[in-house]
Amino acid sequence: MTGTTDGRLRKGERRRRALIDATVRVIGRAGVAGVSQRVVAAEADVPASAVTYYFPTVDDLLLTVLSDVNAAYLARLDDAARADDPLDALTDVVVAAGRGDGGARAAAELELFALAGRGGPWQAEYERWTAGLERFLGRYDLDGEHLALASVTVDGLFLRAYCLPHLVRPATVRAVLRTLTGA
């Protein structure tokens, strides 16, 4: 009986993951406004009822996507923190945000972060990102004002990498980060 239960759990997790990934692709193509349970179901090639089973509302789905994408970016920050040159590694993360997967994951995070102004769990996800980013930047012995400046500048670099990836040059990002941190 355990094998059957485990198999169903694995299938459920695969389907849930497929729905999250499908939502990211939809946001990458059509923005948050393009997300509906029916559109996501078609993108994931599952019945529409599967979406409502895992995510009763579109907000539930979008918040899960934001949390998932945010966790992935925070993991990249953690990896960058362990690199030989953390600022070079962060430069790579910023530049890749606008180029990897056509910017779909960056689109999902940035468009969904705009919902943070609504408060609640949306704002909590943005606070989680900011805390992780400031933890990363904290190694550079910045006072509160300079830490805030560095943090919002990195947010701006991600936005620029998403909106204008053709204008984002690694050398420029690296220079900005080094100037901000004094490294």
| Tens digit of each residue's pLDDT (9 = 90 or more) over 29-78 | 999 999 999 999 999 999 999 999 999 999 999 999 999 999 999 999 99
C-alpha radius of gyration, the chain, whole number: 18
| Tens digit of each residue's pLDDT (9 = 90 or more) over 161-170 | 988 988 899 9
State the Cα–Cα distance between residues 80 and 72, nearest whole angstrom. 12
Nearest Cα to 162, choosing from 71, 117, 95, 92?
95
| Tens digit of each residue's pLDDT (9 = 90 or more) over 81-109 | 999 999 999 999 999 987 777 778 888 88
Asked whether 130 and 123 are in contact (CB, 8 A), the reply is no
Q: Whole-prediction pTM value?
A: 0.86
C-alpha 128: how far from chain center = 11
State the Cα–Cα distance between residues 74 and 136, nearest whole angstrom. 10
CA 82-86-88 angle, 5° bins: 135
Structural domains in the chain plus CATH codes? 2-181 (1.10.357.10)
Q: How many CB atoms lie within 10 A of CB 96?
A: 17
How far apart, in Å, are the Cα atoms of 33 and each of 21, 107, 163?
17, 12, 17
State the Cα–Cα distance between residues 128 and 71, nearest whole angstrom. 9
Residue 4 reports pLDDT greater than 70: no
| Tens digit of each residue's pLDDT (9 = 90 or more) over 118-152 | 888 999 999 999 999 999 999 999 999 999 999 99
| Tens digit of each residue's pLDDT (9 = 90 or more) over 172-182 | 999 999 999 99
